[in-house]
């Protein structure tokens, strides 16, 4: 069974091959989409196999997929497929307009596949050292995508991204070392001491001093990847400067990979230090992130930066859910991770169409999207409502679950503050995006896409994503519920 | 490996080596010349290779020998040399002036961080008389000093060097704690560092080139 997760992780490399073979965005895009589709099918099969029986495990736990890993692999695969659809149309337009040279198109697709593979592989290993290597490799690949449109501001954003996240992830490596050290003296092959499955089983005999230090370093380190405040400084720059489909991958998938790593460390720490310790750490980071996200979302002119700050906020919400803990808290946090991935991917892809049509990211220069580009305008409005947690979309359910967890576990004033911040965010965010979507149409603006292929690949992922969010808001399917419950068991 | 005694010959070599690595990190923090940064980093990496070699000798592990060799060739020679040719000489970098605080203040902060590392990961928390008790606080101090260098310096090349020093700190801890680390993990970390260096190198060059027209324009303007 081990070939299933391995081939799921390797499937997106089809895009890399495509990028090496051809510089034509349409052809390379089609191959990348094929890779993404295979990846999603194989991830779903992997999840089904894991749910039907035991975790998939190789010798030495280098490959290891349990419920939680399968769940995150599935969310990442969904984002990869949606973004690769969006990549085709976005890059085809940019190539036609001359904004991207053929060489840059090649680099984009080659790196896109590598980036996707790195993320898929990250959630399919039990080895904490390998987890670090894969997350770092995926990050380094994603760094290449940020400045690909050739602006100096993009290079600067890419530089800040690579420096801050390398620094953070080095902290995570130090944390990994301390957790490994906490396991010295445990029975078994020392090679196993890096496997979190082993560490969770033997958590009660880990040394608490180095475990506490290791946990903190890991949360700060992987928290830098997740964009938890105050380690978020690189995120708005990188996510707004990258081409929109790459922004979707960064926000929708890579942030989740960082969160996944933190969740694994929580599972280890809870076994020895008790749930209160990790809970306090996460609540502090979570509330800070939502607060700073809220403050920076009010009157933000660059709408891609607005989306990026919204990612900071949502990662904060996930951290708060994990911090509230319990069945409801963890369940809500995981469901929110899935909902946010889909929602943010569709928003960034919609934003990509807007950028291509209007040639600017400044929201005060954009108006009447709904009239000029009806599909894009509608998805912009509905996508904004969805990401802000309005019913009947999925994010409403997951945020509601987290609020219920908070009322059950924590001080009601804490929940009150949380809700207040969400209201501020709603006003700040929706004011900007509704201003873009409504208003008088600009006569010179027309759809940037030529031909059925470009139109379909631009609109399909957005409409599909919106439909998925609507579905998740009305009903969590039985298999997803089972997968989530299995995952929650692994964390608590 | 972490159960090696400090008093054994290999333990003495490793402890001395680690102290020198810490001193070189501080020297780099106290310097203002780009050329010196690279020299100190190269020397530090050579000492790191010695540490890995010592560990390989104790463990009689060919994989560790390979790692020591790689460290020596890539981190000790190739990375400093590439940075010197492609960054320092080509961009004509001499004195680093883009710092938030001066070298002496940086040194004091660095010393405070080293003390902090000892307090937090004090040897009292680790088993007595073992090599890990003497090296882990040092490697933590090196990590913190590298991070400090990244924070107080604004120049890209200086930040890059700060990150490389941080990585050396992690590697020093890694060698001591984890001679039992699976080799694939150690090698993977190593190649991530090299890839990171190459990407940062490319970005620094790209940014420097995109800024050149601007400075040319400034030069031509009458002042």
At A250-294, the pLDDT tens digits run 999 999 999 999 999 999 999 888 888 999 999 999 999 999 999
Quick check: helix, strand or coil at residue B33? strand
Judged against a pLDDT cut of 50, whether residue B220 lies above it is answered with no
Judged against a pLDDT cut of 90, whether residue A391 lies above it is answered with no
Partners of A137 on chain B (C-beta within 8 Å) are: 192, 195
Cβ atoms of B52 and B68 closer than 8 Å? yes
Partners of B181 on chain A (C-beta within 8 Å) are: 129, 180, 194
Lowest average pLDDT, out of A17-26, A244-253, A339-348, goes to: A17-26
Cβ atoms of B165 and B25 closer than 8 Å? yes
Q: Band of the pLDDT at B122, cuts 50, 70, 90? A: low
The residue written with tokens 């069945």 in the block is A327
Q: Band of the pLDDT at A221, cuts 50, 70, 90? A: very high
What is the rounded average pLDDT of the residues B152-166? Answer: 88
The residue written with tokens 């101090």 in the block is B141
Instruction: List the structure tokens of B196.
Output: 């990171």
Whole-number pLDDT of residue B219: 45
Q: Which positions 23-82 of B are in contact with A (Cβ < 8 Å)?
A: none
**Could you report the per-residue pLDDT of A419-450, keeping only the tens digit for each?**
999 999 999 999 999 999 988 888 888 888 98
Whole-number pLDDT of residue B125: 61
Q: Say if B136 is an interface residue toward chain A (CB within 8 Å).
A: yes
Q: Say if A233 is an interface residue toward chain B (CB within 8 Å).
A: no
Q: Say if B176 is an interface residue toward chain A (CB within 8 Å).
A: no
What is the rounded average pLDDT of the residues A37-54? Answer: 93
Smallest Cβ distance to B150: which of A62, A163, A194?
A: A163
Q: Band of the pLDDT at B88, cuts 50, 70, 90? A: confident
Q: Say if A158 is an interface residue toward chain B (CB within 8 Å).
A: yes
Judged against a pLDDT cut of 60, whether residue B222 lies above it is answered with no
**Could you report the per-residue pLDDT of A468-480, keeping only the tens digit for each?**
999 999 989 999 9
What is the rounded average pLDDT of the residues B141-169? Answer: 90
Phi first, then psi: give them for residue B99, nearest 5 degrees: -115, 150
Cβ atoms of B70 and B46 closer than 8 Å? no
Whole-number pLDDT of residue A32: 94
Cβ <8 Å between A130 and B184: yes
Q: Band of the pLDDT at B91, cuts 50, 70, 90? A: confident
**What's the whole-number average pLDDT of chain B?**
82
Cβ atoms of A380 and A354 closer than 8 Å? yes
What is the rounded average pLDDT of the residues B120-125? Answer: 67
Cβ <8 Å between A191 and B178: no
B129's torsion region: left (phi>0), alpha (psi -120 to 50) or beta? left
Cβ <8 Å between A140 and B178: no
Which is more confident, B64 or A220? A220
Q: How far away is chain A from the Cα of B9, in angstroms, using its nearest Cα?
A: 23
Smallest Cβ distance to B170: which of A62, A173, A191?
A: A173
Instruction: List the structure tokens of A37.
Output: 């589709």
Smallest Cβ distance to A170: which of B166, B178, B195?
A: B166
CA distance B176 to A243: 43
**Could you report the per-residue pLDDT of A315-349, keeping only the tens digit for each?**
999 999 999 988 999 999 999 999 999 999 999 99
Whole-number pLDDT of residue B223: 38
Q: Band of the pLDDT at B62, cuts 50, 70, 90? A: confident
Whole-number pLDDT of residue B221: 42
Q: Which residues pair with A65 in a beta bridge?
A: A56
Whole-number pLDDT of residue B214: 47
Which is more confident, A149 or B191? A149
Please provide the distance, in angstroms rounded to a whole number, between the alpha carbons at the two ends of chain A. 27
- Measured in whole angstroms, the distance separating CA A377 from the mean position of its chain's CA atoms is 24
Instruction: List the structure tokens of A165.
Output: 């996240």
Q: How far away is chain B from the Cα of A170, in angstroms, using its nearest Cα?
A: 7
Smallest Cβ distance to B185: which of A127, A143, A181?
A: A127
Q: Band of the pLDDT at A307, cuts 50, 70, 90? A: very high
**Could you report the per-residue pLDDT of B21-58, keeping only the tens digit for each?**
999 999 999 888 889 989 999 999 999 999 989 988 88
Which is more confident, A312 or B1? A312
Whole-number pLDDT of residue B215: 47
Q: Band of the pLDDT at B1, cuts 50, 70, 90? A: low
Judged against a pLDDT cut of 70, whether residue B126 lies above it is answered with no
Q: Band of the pLDDT at A23, cuts 50, 70, 90? A: confident
Judged against a pLDDT cut of 90, whether residue B136 lies above it is answered with no
User: pLDDT above 90 covers what percent of chain A?
Assistant: 64
Q: Band of the pLDDT at A456, cuts 50, 70, 90? A: very high
What is the rounded average pLDDT of the residues A347-365? Answer: 92
Q: Say if A159 is an interface residue toward chain B (CB within 8 Å).
A: yes
**Could you report the per-residue pLDDT of A96-143, keeping only the tens digit for each?**
998 889 899 999 999 999 999 999 999 999 888 889 999 999 999 999
């Amino acid at each position: 069974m081990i070939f299933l997760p391995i081939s799921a992780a390797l499937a997106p490399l089809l895009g890399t091959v495509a990028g090496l073979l051809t510089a034509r965005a349409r052809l390379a895009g089609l191959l990348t989409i094929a890779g993404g589709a295979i990846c999603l099918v194989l991830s779903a099969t992997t999840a089904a196999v894991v749910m039907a029986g035991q975790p998939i495990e190789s010798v030495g736990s280098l490959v290891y997929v349990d419920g939680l890993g399968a769940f995150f692999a599935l969310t990442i695969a969904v984002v990869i497929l949606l973004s690769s659809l969006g990549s085709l149309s976005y890059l085809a337009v940019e190539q036609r307009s001359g904004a991207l040279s053929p060489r840059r198109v090649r680099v984009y697709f080659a790196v896109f596949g590598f980036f996707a593979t790195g993320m898929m592989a990250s959630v399919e290993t039990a080895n904490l050292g390998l987890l670090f290597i894969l997350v770092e490799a995926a990050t380094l690949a994603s760094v290449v995508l940020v400045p690909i449109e050739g602006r100096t501001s993009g290079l600067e954003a890419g530089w800040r991204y690579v420096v801050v996240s390398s620094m953070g992830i080095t902290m995570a490596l130090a944390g990994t070392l301390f957790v490994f050290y906490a396991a010295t003296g445990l029975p078994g092959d020392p090679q196993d001491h890096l496997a979190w499955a082993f560490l969770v089983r033997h958590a009660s005999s880990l040394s608490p001093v180095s475990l506490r230090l290791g946990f903190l370093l890991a949360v700060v380190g992987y928290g830098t990847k997740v964009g938890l405040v105050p380690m978020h400084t690189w995120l708005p720059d990188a996510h707004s400067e990258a081409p929109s489909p790459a922004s979707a991958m960064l926000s929708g998938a890579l942030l989740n990979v960082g969160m996944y790593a933190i969740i694994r460390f929580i599972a280890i720490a809870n076994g020895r230090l008790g749930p209160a310790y990790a809970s306090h750490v996460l609540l502090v980071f979570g509330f800070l992130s939502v607060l700073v996200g809220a403050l920076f979302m009010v009157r933000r002119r660059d709408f891609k930066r607005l989306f990026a700050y919204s990612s900071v906020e949502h990662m904060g919400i996930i951290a708060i859910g994990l911090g509230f803990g319990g069945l409801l808290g963890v369940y809500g946090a995981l469901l929110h991770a899935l909902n946010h991935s889909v929602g943010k991917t569709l928003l960034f892809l919609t934003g990509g169409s807007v950028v291509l049509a209007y040639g600017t990211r400044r929201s005060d220069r954009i108006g009447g999207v709904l009239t000029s580009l009806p599909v894009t305008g509608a998805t912009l409005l509905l996508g904004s409502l969805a990401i802000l947690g309005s019913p009947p979309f999925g994010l409403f359910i997951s945020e509601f679950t987290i609020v219920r967890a908070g009322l059950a576990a924590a001080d009601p004033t804490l929940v009150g503050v949380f809700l207040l911040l969400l209201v501020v965010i709603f006003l700040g965010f929706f004011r900007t995006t509704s201003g873009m979507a409504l208003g008088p149409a600009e006569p010179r603006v027309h759809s940037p896409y030529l031909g059925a292929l470009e139109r379909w690949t631009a609109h399909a992922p957005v409409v599909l994503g919106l439909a998925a969010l609507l579905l998740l808001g009305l009903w969590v399917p039985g298999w997803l519920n089972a997968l989530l419950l299995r995952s929650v068991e692994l964390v608590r | 490996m972490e159960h090696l005694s400090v008093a054994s010959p290999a333990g003495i070599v490793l402890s001395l080596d680690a102290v020198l690595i810490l001193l070189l990190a501080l020297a780099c923090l106290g310097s203002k010349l780009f050329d010196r940064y690279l020299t100190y980093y190269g020397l530090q990496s050579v000492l790191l290779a010695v540490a890995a070699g010592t560990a390989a000798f104790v463990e009689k592990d060919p994989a560790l020998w390979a790692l020591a060799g790689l460290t020596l060739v890539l981190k000790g020679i190739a990375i400093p040399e590439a940075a010197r040719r492609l960054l320092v000489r080509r961009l004509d970098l001499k004195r680093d002036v883009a710092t938030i605080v001066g070298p002496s203040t940086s040194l004091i902060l660095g010393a405070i961080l080293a003390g902090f590392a000892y307090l937090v990961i004090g040897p009292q928390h680790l088993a007595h008389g073992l090599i890990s008790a003497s090296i882990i606080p040092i490697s933590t101090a090196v990590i913190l000093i590298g991070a400090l260098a990244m924070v107080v310096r604004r120049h890209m090349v200086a930040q890059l060097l700060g990150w490389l020093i941080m990585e050396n700190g992690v590697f020093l801890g890694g060698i001591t704690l984890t001679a039992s680390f699976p080799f694939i993990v150690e090698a993977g970390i190593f190649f991530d560092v090299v890839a990171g260096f190459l990407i940062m190198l490319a970005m620094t060059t790209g940014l420097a080139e995109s800024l050149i027209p601007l400075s040319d324009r400034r030069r031509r303007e009458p002042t």
